[in-house]
Amino acid sequence: MPCPLCAAPDTRAYTVLPTRTPADIVMLCAACIHDATHADPLDAARLGLLRDAIWSEDAGVQVLAWRSLRRLSEHAWATDLLEQVWLDEAVSAWAEAGLPAPTETDAPTVPTLDSNGTPLAEGDAVTLIKDLDVKGAGFTAKRGTLVKNIHLTDDPGLVEGRVSGMVIVLKTDFLKRA
Ligand SMILES: [Zn+2]
């Protein structure tokens, strides 16, 4: 399935944050995962499907589209769309809660910690401490699954790891250093 925000063909599972239960997994391209986890300016020209995605019946896709439109508020078409769309209260609160924080260049580096507060480093191995329903990909990553060679992200609450052959973004609250 192509990326719901930009139609790029190569997608992987992304957990829409902040995580709800069960987790909302959306198949996104690498560029859109980058945009969802970094506060850099968005390239409106790349995000050609936002006009459709904002009406998606998949709440995860809708929330990501809504956040993208908010970040494109210098464009009249984006603010017009935001005025037209109606999100239910829970989805709206969820969308707001996940807007990426503005980049603060002088902010101290926050360490990435596992669920026990143990620091995680690039390349560490971790185990999942709860079942993770990877809905978009149709499988459940079981509690106890070992994920080797994790990759840290700019967000101390998130790491990337390969589960069942697929690179997914994992919340550090659900991990324990192996
Ligand atoms: Zn994309």
Ligand 1 geometric centre to CA of 112 (Å): 26
Q: What pLDDT band is residue 83 in, cutting at 50, 70 and 90?
A: very high
pLDDT digits (tens, 9 = 90+) for 7-57: 999 999 999 989 888 889 999 999 999 999 888 899 999 999 999 999 999
* pLDDT at residue 106 is higher than 70: no
Q: Is residue 160 helix, strand or coil?
A: strand
Q: What count of other Cβ atoms lies within 10 Å of the Cβ of residue 158?
A: 20
Q: Is residue 95 helix, strand or coil?
A: helix
* pLDDT at residue 175 is higher than 80: yes
Q: Given the structure tokens 């809905």, which residue do they identify?
A: 135
* Longest alpha-carbon distance in the chain: 49
pLDDT of residue 26: 96
Cα(first)–Cα(last) distance of the chain, in Å? 33
* Structure tokens given for 120: 């995680």
Ligand 1 geometric centre to CA of 11 (Å): 8
Contact 166, 134 (CB under 8 A): yes
- E strand or H helix at 37, and its extent? helix 30-37
Ligand 1 geometric centre to CA of 15 (Å): 14
What is the share, in percent, of the chain residues with pLDDT greater than 90?
A: 68
| Domains of the chain as residue ranges with CATH | 12-97 (no CATH), 126-177 (2.30.30.40)
